[in-house]
Chain A
Amino acid sequence: MTKEMFTLKSSDGFLFVVDEAVVHQSVTLSPMVQDCAGREYPINNVTGKILNLVVEYCKNHVVVDGGDSSSSSSSGDALKKWDDEFITQMDLSTVYDLIMAANYLIIKGLFDLACQRVADEIAACKDHEEIRATLGIVSDYTAEEEAEVLKENEWAFD
């Protein structure tokens, strides 16, 4: 049985040819299976660099998810290991873009994976100062908000 192939086009013109099993992992793209076989489907807010990563994730998740339902725990472990390596080697700017892409394309597994990477990065920071430094965020509190933040961070004894 020949698989149906679909062509995804990134915002900057890169083309990715993928099969149905990959497309179905995106809730946003899933309906296109009906209409778009053979035609290019533009994804206007995801660049080629990011779409490449999305496709890579989905391809890897077809192999196991498409397998039998009694897949052994070792293949589940192998997939988890792949996920960990996949997300950890990325720099945070890429993770940011991946979060936005996975959110738009509604790919839950990828979205959760990327969010958890950010959460882990935050947890590794000793305090909010370090989070700001790591992510390049500037504090923009009003005086009132500052006072609130201070209070929230404080143990005040009797």
Chain B
Amino acid sequence: MVDWAILPKDLLNLISKSLDSSFDLLHFRSVCSSWRSSADPKPPLPTHHLPILPDNGTSLFPDSAVGFRLSQRSILLVKPHKPPISESDLFGWLVKVEEDLNAPRKVTTLLDPMSETRRSLPEHFPRSLDVSSFKIRELGREFKLHYFNTVGDIVNSLYLEKAVVRYLDSCSKFVLLTIHVSGKLAVFTSWDRAWTVINDMPSPYDDVIVFDGRFFGVDNNGRTVVVDFESLKLELVASPVYGGDKKFLIESCGEMLMVDMYLSMEEVDGDPGFGEEVFEHHAVFMNERTVKFKVFKFLEREKSWVEVKDLGGKMLFLGDDCNFTASASDLLPSCGGSCVFFNGNVFNEDNVDAMQDRDLGVFDFRSGKIELVHKLPEYAKLFWPPPPWITSHERAEDHPGETSSKC
């Protein structure tokens, strides 16, 4: 009988490096003393301070802002180890997690995966959760820039553009790509703490992504470039598709997809209750509804985007700061998949005339229909409140002497 505990540490280390998931690594490190010391912990996601991005002279950020804080979050799919008894409970929980390692005791914050909203935990929710009692997979990593002031507090963020990061070598050396307020691409390199705004911009950029280890940016027309952070040159990798109004880049099953969001600017019928002039002034904003989506697949060799007619079992999520994918079989088996979740203005038949706030909507790729997620309990339950099986586990603090978890 072999003794796995005494396998040489360098070999254990190599095995630990073959683990894809950081949660598997966590389990590895929890097995026994020798395994723990052989495997390097998942490097903590650091928070960085960056100097402010130069703007165009127009003060689009608060005067009190002196710099950016870059924080990182994980978007997770959480499921129970054992399938629940009731079929209606058979679904995954989507949550965004931020860990604050600067606090004396590590603090975990839960957020809405689609936006910046922090979750308030329900009253009877445990104050801590034993992560090993669930099956957890990371679906995406989000990078968020916040303005901060001289006192170090975060200023209510007006910075709305997507940021993506590539780490080189270690956690301290990185490159960040974002979209400048002018619509141009901007690159930040951590070693010289320098921002560079890249002037090449036939049309404003809509989204950025790290795919296949490279930075990609897509503009409003679908024209796609690769950004070389060393030369700061852009290389055209796909011709424009035109079409809709806003483009998103998303990775799914090893492929890069582009989602094209179509907005309509129809006038609203009926009496909105505003004075005539006010109505006219606001007409555009009130009626910018999301009406449909098209999805394209990236064909690198052909330097083009090819329209995808069927998403198969995939569910695409276009969050404010991160786009991520899940398969229906994994997340919500009762659903056929083939849908796109997004933040936007959705036609609400209950409240036709009201000025719409941005809401979470879902586009069914097969039927072409769009609906508000909060009207569809089957989808709403993926996000909040946490599913019943989260809290039916015993809490970590109930068993202070053990590292085991029970289902």
A-contact bits for B1-30, CB 8 A (1 contact / 0 none): 111110110010011101111001011111
Q: Which of B63-109 contact A (CB under 8 A)?
A: 81, 97, 105-109
A124-153 contacts to B (CB < 8 Å): 125-129, 131-132, 135-142, 145-146, 149-153
- Partner among A93, A116, A153 whose Cβ is within 8 Å of the Cβ of B403: A153
Verify if A14 is at the interface (C-beta below 8 Å from B): no
Give complex CA distance A125, B26 in Å.
12
Query: In the assembly, what is the distance between CA of A144 and CA of B402, in Å?
Result: 12
- The distance in angstroms between the C-alpha atoms of A145 and B33, with both chains bound, is 8
Whether B246 sits at the interface, judged by CB under 8 Å, is: no
Contacts of B129 in A (CB 8 A): 154-155
The interface residues of chain B lying within 8 Å CB-to-CB of A119 are 15-16, 18-19, 24
Q: Does A105 make an interface contact (CB < 8 A)? A: no
Is A97's CB within 8 Å of the partner chain B? yes
- Contact bitstring B275-316, A, C-beta under 8 A = 1, else 0: 000000000000000000000000000000000000000000
In the complex, A149→B404 CA distance in Å?
Answer: 10
CB within 8 A of B31: which of A118, A132, A150, A154?
A132
| Chain A residues near B403 (CB-CB < 8 A) | 128, 139, 141, 146, 149-150, 153
Contact assessment for B11 and A99 in the assembled complex, using a CB-CB cutoff below 8 Å: yes
Q: Does A96 contact B (CB under 8 A)?
A: yes
Give the residues in chain B near A116, CB-CB below 8 Å: 18
Residue of B nearest to A119 (CB): B18
B 173-203 contacts with A by CB, 8 A = none
Q: CB distance B128 to A155 under 8 Å? A: yes
Q: B7 and A156: CB pair below 8 A?
A: no
**A121: min CB distance to chain B, Å:** 10
CB distance from B404 to the nearest CB of A (A): 5
Least CB distance from A110 to B in Å reads 13
Task: Tell me the complex Cα distance, A92–B8, Å.
Answer: 16
CB pair B133–A157 under 8 Å, yes or no, is no
Enumerate chain B residues within 8 angstroms of A135, measured Cβ to Cβ: 4
Report yes or no: B5 in contact with A125, Cβ–Cβ below 8 A.
no
Q: Which one of B20, B35, B107 contacts A123 once the chains associate, using CB atoms below 8 Å?
A: B20
Q: Are B33 and A127 in contact (CB under 8 A)?
A: no
In the complex, chain A residues whose CB is within 8 Å of the CB of B97:
155
A122 at the interface (CB under 8 A from B): yes
Give residues 26-53 of B contacting A (CB, 8 Å): 26-33, 35-36, 41
Residues of the B chain whose Cβ atoms lie less than 8 Å from the Cβ of A138: 5, 32
Task: Determine whether A30 belongs to the interface, using a CB cutoff of 8 Å to chain B.
Answer: no
B405 CB–A CB distance under 8 Å: yes
Please tell me if the beta carbons of A123 and B24 are within 8 angstroms of each other in the complex: yes
Q: How far is the CA of A140 from the CA of B1 in the complex (A)?
A: 19
| CB atoms of A118 and B121 under 8 A apart | no
Instruction: Identify which of residues 59-118 in chain A touch chain B, using a CB-to-CB cut-off of 8 Å.
Output: 92-93, 96-97, 99-100, 103, 112, 115-116, 118
- Shortest Cβ distance from residue A40 to the other chain B in the assembled complex, whole angstroms: 28
Interface residues, chain A, CB within 8 Å of chain B? 92-93, 96-97, 99-100, 103, 112, 115-116, 118-119, 122-123, 125-129, 131-132, 135-142, 145-146, 149-158
What are 11 sample pairs from A and B whose C-beta atoms fall under 8 A apart?
A100-B7, A119-B24, A127-B30, A127-B133, A132-B32, A135-B4, A140-B33, A141-B36, A149-B36, A152-B26, A155-B97
Kindly list the 9 A-B residue pairs having the minimum CB-CB distance in the complex, ordered from nearest: A119-B18, A128-B30, A155-B108, A96-B2, A127-B132, A135-B4, A126-B81, A156-B128, A128-B27
